[in-house]
Each structure stands twice: as C-alpha cells, then as structure tokens.
Amino acid sequence: MSELVEVLTKDGSYSLKSVFFKENFHSLFGAVDETKIKFTDPSDLYRFKGKSLNVLDICFGLGYNSASLINELIKQNSYLNLYALEIDKKPLEYALGNKSFQKSWNPQVKKIFEILHKNNYFEDQFFKCRILWGDARKEINIIPEANKFDLIYLDGFSPQKCPQVWSIEFLSKVTQKLNPKGYLITYSSSAAVRKTLRNLGLKIFTIKPSSKYKTFWSQGTVAIANFDENEMMVNSNFEKLSVMEEEHLLTKASIPYRDINLNSTKEDIIKRRLDEQLLSNLLSTKEWRKKWGMTKSAFKG
C-alpha cells in the first residue's frame, strides 16, 4: 500500500508524501508546528496535570501527534492510556530512523515508539500505550466498549482522498468513544465532517489560525459533547464557528460521506456522495466561496 517520499517542511522537520493517496502527511509549513497548533495546543493538556487521561489517536502515521502529546505529559507528570489506530507500519519505521524526528522530543518518546513498533504495546509507571494495525473501521471494534476517551485525534488523509475515516458511520463509532467532556480534534475544516459531528450531537468549534497562518480561516475543528460556555473565555485556541463557517454548513459541501456497512471502497463512497450532491437543492459551494472571497486552497475536504 505504501509508497512514501520524504518531505522537508519549512520548520525544519521532516514528513512524508503518500504516492498512493497523492497527499502529504503534513502541511509544508511544518510537521512539528502543525502538530502543536492543530492538535497539542487545542487539547488543553493543563487540565490533566498530575492526573490520568485516555487518548485515541486515529491514523497514527509517523506518530507526531502522539509524540507531542507524550512530550508534554512528561513535563507535567500525567498518566496516559493511549490507543492508536494505523494501517501502515512504514511511516513509524521512517520516523524511528529520522534523527530530526527523534531530536524534537524527549528521548522517552523514541523508547516508547520503538517498543510499540516491535510489540504493539508499551507500559511503564506513567504510560500504557497500544497500537492496533489495520483498517481503522475494523480495528476500532477491538477497543473495549467501556473505554471512553478524553481526547480523540483524527488525522487521516483529507476526506476526498480517504473518505473511509470521515463517513457518518465511522464518525458515529468514534463519537461513541468520546467522554462527555472529551475533545475530538481534527485538522479538517470540511463542512461534511463538521455537519456530521454536529448531527451526531457534538458542539463544534474552530481552531483559530496562529499568527503564522493568517491566510487560513481555520486550523481545524474541536468537537465536544458537553461544553461549559464559561470555559470558552479561558481557551485561546478554539472558538465558536464564524458566520462564514456556519454558512459553509448550509452548502452542498456539508453532505456527508456514507459507508453503510463500513467496508466500501474510496471510489464508492465518493460516487455516493457526488450523486447525493447532484440531487441536492442546497447552495453550491462555489457560490459560498464567491460570497466570502474564498479559494479552494484555504481548506481541505
């Protein structure tokens, strides 16, 4: 499945491009920067200082998101129970052989990842980590039903490239794994993904662009089942959707990806959605872009 090409990003960190998916694992602006801005910072990890938390990392890839998470938890003496889902071992193999990746984190991260790669499991007094190899649509069923997560990272290739992990059926399974006050975090600002998460009962927030990425209107999405509005005042990383973003959810772009039996091919899922869009009376995405002066490059999905 994997044919991977090394990519040097602008912050000096390395990533990969998948020839199969025709897409990079990370933005060219920087793999480390993207991980921190789109996943680590919105996680509000200070909530778990000296405490334990459960995390599900879907589409583990090279491991940047989990590496950054573990790196921060080491600093604040937190306890982690991690499940990771990934279909391909080669990105992790690459990361373990890349000196730039290793230097970005506490040496403990490399130790954990090496043992995960070898045994699929790691445990010490602070961390219990498991990685399940295979199609996430199937592997998620192996996680015990009682396990609920404080953080769920969803970092698959973009919906148009890998709709299998963005369908309403798969996201329904994912949201069932979320603690009531847990955060589901993704880089995607796709209207289909956001509308699906909202329809599944979650409150949707946008990850605010950093000063480095002012040309982007959003750095991703945070979805929470039960959120105290007062907490919004102390969180500087995400906020309510803007009027423009809300209108995005009223366009044909918001029509969900469907994978009824969770075994459809990419092509079938894309065609099913396209057929539904052609029959829809919703506003065209082109008209929405025109109204707000948007370009396709401003968002994925």
The one-letter code for the residue type at 58 is I
Summarize pLDDT for 70-121 with one digit per residue, the tens. 999 999 999 999 999 999 999 999 999 999 999 999 999 999 999 999 999 9
pLDDT of residue 301: 43
Contact 197, 221 (CB under 8 A): yes
Per domain, the residue ranges of the chain are: 4-298
pLDDT of residue 299: 45
Please report which confidence band the pLDDT of residue 215 belongs to, taking 50, 70 and 90 as the band edges: low
pLDDT of residue 300: 42
Mean pLDDT within 225-231: 77
HSE-CB of 276 using CA atoms within 13 angstroms: 15
pLDDT of residue 232: 60
Query: Count of CB atoms within 10 A of residue 182's CB?
Result: 23
CA distance 191 to 44: 24
pLDDT of residue 22: 86
Confidence (pTM): 0.93
pLDDT of residue 214: 55
Lowest mean pLDDT among 211-215, 221-225, 261-265, 284-288: 211-215
pLDDT of residue 216: 67
Under CATH, to which class is 4-298 assigned?
Answer: alpha beta
pLDDT of residue 296: 54
Query: What average pLDDT does the structure give for the chain?
Result: 91
pLDDT of residue 189: 94
Summarize pLDDT for 155-196 with one digit per residue, the tens. 999 999 999 999 999 999 999 999 999 999 999 999 999 999
What residues have CB less than 8 Å from 58, skipping those under 6 apart? 84, 85, 136, 140, 152, 153, 154, 155, 156, 165, 174
